[in-house]
Amino acid sequence: MSTARGSNSVFAGQPTAAVRDASESLEEFAERAQAFLMSAAKPLGVSRTPSTSDGSPCVSEEDRVSLFRGSTVEDARAACDWRRQVFDAGFGWIKGPKEWGGAGLSGKFEKAYLQFERQYETPSPSPLGVSLGMVGPTLNQFGSDEAKQRWLTGLYRGDFIGCQLFSEPAAGSDLASVKTKAIANDDHWIVTGQKVWTSGAHYSDVGLVLARTSPSPRHGNLTVFLVDMHAPGVEVKPLRQMTGEADFNEVFLDNVKVEDAYRLGEIDEGWQVAMATLLHERGAIGGSGSGGTGLFDMNKLAAMLISLGVDGDPMIRQQYATVATGVAAAKAMRSRAEAAMKSGQTPGAEMSLSKLALTRNLAALSDLVSKALGPKLLMDTHEPRTYAWTEYVLGVPGFRLGGGTDEIQRNIIAERVLDLPKEPTPRRNLPH
């Protein structure tokens, strides 16, 4: 599936007419954003309890609580259609450079717009998470003008969807050991290999692939490329999760031709590009640990506990407090990281801390709802927002893997922040 083919793409490198001057005040921006949203979407209404007169499960789509939504081609198309409206109104890439279609505004404008948008019924942005959180920022940072001309504006407008092709069957947390190879051939490369756990590959148009390009020592033999996911030799196979959905995929690359212009960074310096990509990923993932996912609405959570009649249980109250304090701490840490980036500092271990904060908060919320719901977590009792939490609880363990496992993040913090010695390498050929 290609979300780009057949769409009316804006020409790359030209900002939309809706983009205002960077001197626009936050108040003027807010008025413009609210006017757009009022004309393009419906305000969120009061949740309705699904009818159960026919004995069907009471879990409606609006009740469903899940980390992995099992995004389909139709979900991706809906997200892209909405994204194009947002972009053409001047809100699609608020912090982006004007020469590539961005608004050239600061992060406070983006934060304000997102707060407004959450008050309206819009398609889930999940299918575009990797595009906007990883592929787009990495392309903007390392891509050639030709690569940006083809892909950059389209990624932020929703004309294209991007995925990340890093992990392999034998190279997950240890990315330096990837086996996928890229062999130079005149003005292009031939890429061959296998990738795994690729989110959204089944509806993506372009992939960010990490490949070996020389026999040099580890970390000095890798290069990153942009691969057309519709090119000959690219095959995508879904991976089914225990939730029943298939968000992840295997991707096979069989002699795929990639133009050298779509190389990101210098040859054999892909490790730096990959690490920058992971920083973008951890930043995007970690931001949700302070409430960005909408899961950590403590008022709604309290209302659910009250409706279940468990709000007086001391254990429940303690677990609720654990979630609340974890979210508050994540917000403070996120603000500190954003302040450092505004002052020109390069983000580092803060992103690992943010990612760890997210997984800890997700686990704490899982423990809370599991305790509060008891058997209702596994059985549909025709009560809203009870059985609907099952997918969430099943999805929490998998979130510990995205952006580097929790163990990898702890090593980064230990070695780069606390200056502790590196984890010892296991001895081999030990005597029996």
Residues 366, 397 contacting (CB under 8 angstroms) = no
Helix (H) or strand (E) holding 43: strand 42-43
Alpha helices by DSSP H, listed for 131-170, are 136-142, 145-147, 153-157
Q: CA-CA distance, 324 to 123, in Å (whole number)? A: 28
Contact 349, 333 (CB under 8 A): no
Count of residues for the chain? 432
Q: For residues 187 and 259, is the Cβ–Cβ distance under 8 A?
A: yes
Write down the catalytic residue from 24, 28, 99, 281: 281
Amino acid code (one letter) for 210: L
Assess contact for 224 and 210: CB atoms under 8 A. Answer: yes
- Give yes or no: 407 in active site: no
H-type helices in 106-256, by residue range? Answer: 107-117, 129-130, 136-142, 145-147, 153-157
- Report CA Rg, the chain: 23
In this structure, what are the phi and psi dihedrals at residue 321, rounded to the nearest 5 degrees? -65, -35
Tokens 């932020």 identify what position? 156
Cα 191–Cα 194–Cα 196 angle in degrees, nearest 5? 135
Pairing of strands 222-228, 234-239: unpaired
Instruction: For residue 128, give both structure tokens.
Output: 């575009």
Terminal-residue alpha carbon distance, the chain: 55
Q: How many other CB atoms sit within 10 Å of the CB of residue 207?
A: 28
Structural element, H or E, at residue 189: strand 188-195
Nearest C-alpha neighbor of 67 from the set 364, 362, 346, 411 = 362
Cβ atoms within 10 A of the Cβ of 32, count? 17
> Across 79-122, where does the E strand assignment appear?
120-121
254: left (phi over 0), alpha (psi -120 to 50) or beta: beta
Round to whole Å and give the CA distance between 334 and 331. Answer: 5
The helix/strand/coil state of 258 is strand
**Residues annotated catalytic, as ranges:** 281
